[in-house]
Structure 1
Amino acid sequence: MTTRSPGFLGLVHGSGVWNATGYGEGAIIGFLDTGIDEKHPSFRDDGMPPPPARWKGACQPPVRCNNKLIGAASFVVDNTTDDDVGHGTHTTGTAAGRFVEGASAFGLGAGGTAAGTAPGAHLAVYKVCDAQGCFESDLLAGMDAAVKDGVDVLSLSLGGISTPLDKDPIAIGAFAAVSKGVLVVCAGGNSGPQPSTLSNEAPWILTVGAGSVDRSYRAAVRLGDGEMFQGESLTQDKQFSSKVYPLYYSQGMNYCDFFDANITGMVVVCDTETPVPPMSSIDAVREAGGAGVVFINEPDFGYTIVLEKLYSLPMSQVTAVDGNKIMGYAMKGSATTNHTATIVFNSTVVGVKPAPIVAAFSSRGPSVASPGVLKPDIMAPGLNILAAWPSQVPVAEGPESSHSFNVISGTSMATPHVTGIVALVKKAHPDWSPAAIKSAIMTTSSAVDNEGHHIMDEEHRKASFYSIGAGHVVPAKAVDPGLVYDLGDRDYAGYICRLLGDAALKTIAGNTSLTCTEVEPISAAQLNYPAIVVPLRAEPFAVNRTVTNVGPAKSNYTAKIDTPKGLAIKVEPAELKFTKVKERKTFTVTVSAAGASAEQTLAEGALTWVSHHHVVRSPIVADSSITLI
């Protein structure tokens, strides 16, 4: 429900994929979250058709359904669907908010038109969390109800720490949903940038990582020596920029807990140990008479600046790299040297490059619960996303705390971007399985940024597939992928049997007709996944994949291999010739690392099937920590 990310994703009003899919009209998205502000303009229903006849849900009184919000149910203690957190309204609007003109947050991003990625889709909201958190029982009850009611896709911007699949309620609930044809889209988690920090790792879930968009809420720090550093802030004060202020930085770490010097009228430089500056630091600066604050990003977060509107003091957040330079200037000469600075507020800047960049907080693979399966699956906008907000939930202190839009960050924000795109693909191809839709989104994604270079991580290094999944989502291509890697219940059951055994399959599938004696066990490498993960070893390792033709009946594809240093990759056959729609072809990919150095632990390449009309790309990851049989 943003004023920037649909355009950044190539979604344009009146043309392209939005036009071709009727903006997702007729698709039903189910949300498991903290409820909804039903009166928000993003959820009005003027001009919308009634829900499809197959819809069985309803709105729990006193909520009144309309043609946009067609279902609302509460599973929490207070038994209301009101959103007293804000999270649910924000995510719901991001996936399916109607067009709202002149949307802005705190005067920023002004004049933009807000829209979800599937603004024509119907919404059904299941409140399974509140300000205290979420009970697993409520979550499972909500998933069951949504599937029974007839949703096409489920969006869960929630999760816990990595848990074995048979102990993970979301994985168990999602298996039931997927077996009924409902794709489940989940947040990958906000525990990055450390490796193996994911949640929602089951292969049948579409797991989403977060990246930046090409927009900055610019607040540049200009030093007395003329140097400028491009920071960001949601607290913008144009009048502040017209003056120059003494700059204060205590020698050594300064977390702005307290001050043993007079900082009245000064711009104070503060270190931070958290992605978002702590309110206590702002309060300390304000109470000590400081005029403004420059917060330096924690080193782990590199170039990722996470913004929140909590503060009334003029401020700028800068990267760790720029922060070091500002500190260097502040510490030059003696303590009596006149160091000065000001913050130049430039409101909203668009067209920022490079974008997307992986957000530092976005959780990374390799997966602990699903070893050998590439996770996250996909990356989408999740940093500083402007979207719908319930006006009764305060955003900041003071009289102006009521806002109908807010800027927040997380894989929670990335997830509904993808959910809306799933709704568009489902609208275009109602008969496709959840795995086919997931494959379409993964194989058509982009591994390059808006400068044409490989997507970078928060440190501006080349991002691993364990950070970005297959790549950054591209809606226009997802509706027409050419080929898909399909999977069904029995494939997933075979994977569970090989990984965890018969008791786990009973727990997850809840289906007595599926047992490990009846299904063939499948190793992670042989699962017909749109991404390939193999051990990094000298001996050749072969995996089989099967693709289904969903493009033109007569289609010829040629294999193009991106081979990294140290690997040898062979594809047989190297050409696939299709003569009809839904025809299936199997091929073998053989990977060996005979040329890899002893120190090399990871090598990443790609297999791309290319025809006249389509490009179908699968990441290939060779990892020394993977031991597959």
Structure 2
Amino acid sequence: MPKPKPFLICLLLTLITIPIHSIPTTSKLEQRTFIIRVNYEAKPSIFPSHQHWYQSSLNSISSSLNPPKQIQILHTYDTLFHGFSAHLTDPEANLLSKQPHILDLIPEQVRDIHTTRSPLFLGLQPSSNTSSLLEESDFGSDLVIGVLDTGIWPEHPSFNDRDLTAIPAKWRGYCPSDFPCNKKIIGARFFCEGYEATNGKMNGSTEIRSPRDSDGHGTHTASISAGRYVFPADTLGYAKGIAAGMAPKARLAVYKVCWTSGCYDSDILKAFEQAVIDGVDVISLSVGGVVVPYYLDTIAIAAFGAVKNGVFVSASAGNGGPGGSSVTNVAPWVTTVGAGSIDRDFPAEVLLGNGKRVLGMSVYSGPGFRPGKLYPIFYAGNRDGGGGSEGGDGYSGSLCLDGSLDPDLVKGKIVLCDRGINSRVAKGQVVKDAGGIGMILANAVFDGEGLVADCHVLPATAVGSASGDVIRRYIGSSLKKSVVPTATIIFHGTRVGVRPAPVVAAFSARGPNPQTPEILKPDLIAPGLNILASWTQRIGPSGLTVDNRRAEFNILSGTSMACPHVSGLAALLKAAHPEWSPAAIRSALMTTAYTVDNQGGIMKDESTGNESTVMDYGAGHVHPQKAMDPGLVYDLTTYDYIDFLCNSNYTINNIELITKKKRDCRDAKRAGHVGNLNYPTISYVFVQYGQHKMSSHSIRIATNVGDPTSVYKVKINPPMDTNVTVEPEQLSFRRVGQKLNFLVRVQVESIKLSAGSSVTKSGSIVWSDGKHTVTSPLIVTMQQPL
């Protein structure tokens, strides 16, 4: 969903080491979950297993408490991480930290969950004339995508196994006896121990202790990555067509880790570990949280272990846009995906009583407004007579919060609601409960002009921030003249061939990378705005419990929807190129991405209508067909990532927490800096400490995956007011798999900046052999210290 919920728990910004660092809490007896790293090799032989040893460690502190109590292990981790998780008070955590084999305690973070046309928009369809990615990869057959989300609705036609071959022999996963797995959904598990430790046992009315999806989000994301072809498909009559995921023959393994109050780190880490043990090829994670150092980020730690085992990990960039430095899931071994639009929308305009028309967006099917008839319009935020003190609850009334609208003032009217706090569709239910007949949902200034189509429970449409101001002014001016303001909503159904497209979705999280600005994030964007995909039968398309409608498909927006597009594409690329590493797959997607829309201009920023930048879209919008044959890739191994961590000035203990390996960083630090990571994008950060001229350099290693004999020449598009050189200017390859180095040197002159401010400029470096074009964004950031 484009607006993330408030987090229920905050992650510490400093690592708890031995002796344990101070743990700020509101109460010493308040419990929370810790993920505990253990010296795995120190297990005494008296214990038959590590789990017995871990439980003994907890029992030893339990017996010292007054009164004694039993503390149980939530999860044991043996593959990507060595240790366990437990729900502890601060005194218990301090006691545990004093045991010699306990290395670290990481407080748990709670994360939030962040199609009929997108395959066509991406150019992803079988072709009788040329070799397509779908055909080259056999539609992803035998590749396994692990989806960590809210579960799945297995009976949906998108998950049928008709004509699929036998389950791949490599698969080691599990499916409960009471869950209808098949040759499409080949694994299904759920992890709720961390969730229940904080929230108590589920009552069964709204949650299911099963991989079955009662929310819809997981079913939606799973079908985007690997849904089968389904016809006909639509949502309430909108977006009619053939539904399909990116890799229609790929197998799905479902790991339910998200529940009504969020997705808990201890469960996510266990699911990552199990997915790798089971044998997935790709992990798709449409959840996120606050950005912290990588050694405190459970997702970063888990993803490192997965990538080390050859598993591609894609994660949503977050929905905190359009503000800067809002991107999440920023570890360089994770492919971070932002959201763009496709060339389809669902216009629903507002016609005001003064004849003005205001563009809106909606998915609504039901009793509409009578053609040609205008209805009274009400806004609780107008204190000059349109509501406010008369309209009930003032500020909360303008936001249409639960119980804030006076039925005597709202009945029979269209209500203008401001976006914020409660969900967009919930505002419509509040209006409906108060007797309103329709709703106009206006963006806040921060949201800009980005429009999201929701399945509303009454006639409703969303309008941009400026359009909301137009409507408010009309209401205010009418009331001053003692004229009843009126309006109606006109629904235009589905529109295709929209221009410009793609645009960067307003909600899509933006760079710069708040943890490591030298690594550009997000990496790229993919379709994430108004995406139709499969839906659960446990809840209506609005997602509200009072919505009794049922739909096989639903239209949702968010980087949650963009992430599984890339997950599915990664499965296709892995099937077409089984020898490629996760880093090579990401490189192929990034260096072939595009930044030009279907009108021939730079992609627009939906929130402003202006040109977007690399901080909005990263390397650009995915281009699957070109990614199949990128020519060159920038590959990486776990050793490269460890060097990166060394150059990030992490301690040996910090690095071991992520990698499970001790590393002497002296050689790595002599070799370069964080920007030397062999990443497909190149970014420099210059801090102006009084010097007039500054320079830096980066080394990149290109691997030939194209024609055996090929010569690539470089084209430099330098950022404004910078001097960029590349040595050598030509790379001559003699075989597939050959690696050649080149050096990029950047020189800049200081500029006048106010204290604490910065400015970013972008360009690119393009290698071409006449057939392939390999593009790397080049970013220069100038900072003035405080």
**TM-score category of the 2 structures, normalised to the smaller one:** over 0.9
Query: Using the alignment, how far apart are the partners of 2:698 and 2:370 within structure 1?
Result: 60
| Partner of residue 659 from structure 2, selected from 503, 509, 515 | 509
Query: Using the alignment, how far apart are the partners of 1:125 and 1:223 within structure 2?
Result: 48
Q: Which residue of 2 aligns with 1:103?
A: 233
- Residue 149 of structure 1 aligns with an amino acid whose one-letter code is D
Is the 1:535–1:626 contact (alpha carbons within 8 Å) kept by the matching residues of 2? no
Is the 1:525–1:543 contact (alpha carbons within 8 Å) kept by the matching residues of 2? yes
Is the 1:178–1:184 contact (alpha carbons within 8 Å) kept by the matching residues of 2? yes
Q: TM-score, normalised by structure 2?
A: 0.75
SS at match of 1:282: helix
Query: Using the alignment, how far apart are the partners of 1:264 and 1:73 within structure 2?
Result: 47
Query: Using the alignment, how far apart are the partners of 1:316 and 1:466 within structure 2?
Result: 30
Q: Which residue of 2 aligns with 1:341?
A: 487
Is structure 2 residue 719 aligned with structure 1 residue 564? yes
Distance 1:336 1:261, change over 3 A: farther
Query: Using the alignment, how far apart are the partners of 2:181 and 2:399 within structure 1?
Result: 49
Query: Using the alignment, how far apart are the partners of 1:365 and 1:452 within structure 2?
Result: 24
Displacement of 1:532: 0.6
Displacement of 1:49: 0.8
| Partner of residue 11 from structure 1, selected from 121, 124, 137 | 124
- Residue 220 of structure 1 aligns with an amino acid whose one-letter code is E
Is structure 2 residue 359 aligned with structure 1 residue 230? yes
Is the 1:241–1:344 contact (alpha carbons within 8 Å) kept by the matching residues of 2? no
Query: Using the alignment, how far apart are the partners of 2:623 and 2:616 within structure 1?
Result: 17
Is structure 2 residue 706 aligned with structure 1 residue 551? yes
Distance 1:427 1:321, change over 3 A: same
| Partner of residue 361 from structure 1, selected from 483, 498, 507 | 507
Q: Deviations over 1:329-387 (max 9, x none)?
A: 33445433364432111111111122222222222222223331111111111122211
Q: Which residue of 2 aligns with 1:530?
A: 680
Specify which structure has the bigger relative contact order, considering alpha-carbon pairs within 8 angstroms and separated by 6 or more residues: 1
Query: Using the alignment, how far apart are the partners of 1:518 and 1:75 within structure 2?
Result: 41
SS at match of 1:231: coil
Where do residues 73-472 of structure 1 align in structure 2 (5 Å cutoff)?
73-77=189-193, 79-110=209-240, 112-237=241-366, 239-240=368-369, 242-250=371-379, 251=382, 254-256=398-400, 257-259=404-406, 262-273=409-420, 276-277=423-424, 279=426, 281-283=427-429, 285-287=431-433, 289-309=435-455, 311-332=456-477, 334-337=480-483, 339-396=485-542, 400-457=548-605, 458-472=607-621
SS at match of 2:514: coil
Is the 2:761–2:780 contact (alpha carbons within 8 Å) kept by the matching residues of 1? yes
- Residue 498 of structure 2 aligns with an amino acid whose one-letter code is V
Q: Deviations over 1:388-419 (max 9, x none)?
A: 11112333466742222112222111100000
Q: Which residue of 1 aligns with 2:3?
A: none
Query: Using the alignment, how far apart are the partners of 1:354 and 1:267 within structure 2?
Result: 31
The more displaced of 201-210 and 252-261 is 252-261
SS at match of 2:288: coil
- Between Structure 1 and Structure 2, how many residues are aligned? 622
SS at match of 1:192: coil
Q: Deviations over 1:134-162 (max 9, x none)?
A: 23222122111211221111111112110
SS at match of 1:347: coil
| Partner of residue 740 from structure 2, selected from 582, 585, 602 | 585
Displacement of 1:229: 2.3
Query: Using the alignment, how far apart are the partners of 2:697 and 2:682 within structure 1?
Result: 11
Q: Percent identity?
A: 41
Is structure 2 residue 602 aligned with structure 1 residue 489? no
Displacement of 1:48: 0.7
Displacement of 1:278: 6.0
Query: Using the alignment, how far apart are the partners of 1:152 and 1:465 within structure 2?
Result: 29
Q: Which has the larger radius of gyration?
A: 2
- Residue 338 of structure 2 aligns with an amino acid whose one-letter code is G
Q: TM-score, normalised by structure 1?
A: 0.93
Q: Deviations over 1:90-144 (max 9, x none)?
A: 111110000011111122112x111111111111112222223223222122111
Q: Deviations over 1:549-594 (max 9, x none)?
A: 1100121222122223222222222222222111111111122233
SS at match of 1:81: coil
Displacement of 1:260: 9.2
Unaligned runs of 5+ in 2: 1-114, 194-207, 384-394
The more displaced of 565-574 and 181-190 is 565-574
Query: Using the alignment, how far apart are the partners of 2:740 and 2:158 within structure 1?
Result: 44
Is structure 2 residue 38 aligned with structure 1 residue 38? no
Query: Using the alignment, how far apart are the partners of 2:123 and 2:217 within structure 1?
Result: 25
- Residue 361 of structure 1 aligns with an amino acid whose one-letter code is F
Query: Using the alignment, how far apart are the partners of 1:204 and 1:140 within structure 2?
Result: 16
Is the 1:238–1:344 contact (alpha carbons within 8 Å) kept by the matching residues of 2? no
SS at match of 1:92: helix
SS at match of 1:539: strand
Is the 1:294–1:317 contact (alpha carbons within 8 Å) kept by the matching residues of 2? yes
Distance 1:580 1:171, change over 3 A: same
Q: Which residue of 2 aligns with 1:605?
A: 763
Displacement of 1:245: 1.3
Distance 1:596 1:149, change over 3 A: same
Is the 1:447–1:455 contact (alpha carbons within 8 Å) kept by the matching residues of 2? yes
Query: Using the alignment, how far apart are the partners of 1:625 and 1:404 within structure 2?
Result: 51
Query: Using the alignment, how far apart are the partners of 1:264 and 1:153 within structure 2?
Result: 51
| Partner of residue 749 from structure 2, selected from 591, 594, 602 | 594
Is structure 2 residue 477 aligned with structure 1 residue 477? no
Displacement of 1:598: 4.5
Query: Using the alignment, how far apart are the partners of 1:38 and 1:156 within structure 2?
Result: 19
- Residue 374 of structure 2 aligns with an amino acid whose one-letter code is Y
SS at match of 1:587: strand
- Residue 571 of structure 1 aligns with an amino acid whose one-letter code is V
- Residue 526 of structure 2 aligns with an amino acid whose one-letter code is A
Displacement of 1:52: 2.2
Displacement of 1:13: 4.0
Query: Using the alignment, how far apart are the partners of 2:300 and 2:312 within structure 1?
Result: 12
Q: Deviations over 1:268-308 (max 9, x none)?
A: 333333595362x4355435543322222111111212233
SS at match of 2:239: strand
Query: Using the alignment, how far apart are the partners of 1:243 and 1:57 within structure 2?
Result: 59
Query: Using the alignment, how far apart are the partners of 2:249 and 2:271 within structure 1?
Result: 23
Unaligned runs of 5+ in 1: none
Q: Which residue of 1 aligns with 2:772?
A: 614
Is the 2:583–2:634 contact (alpha carbons within 8 Å) kept by the matching residues of 1? yes
- The two structures, once aligned, show a CA RMSD in angstroms of 2.4
SS at match of 2:504: coil
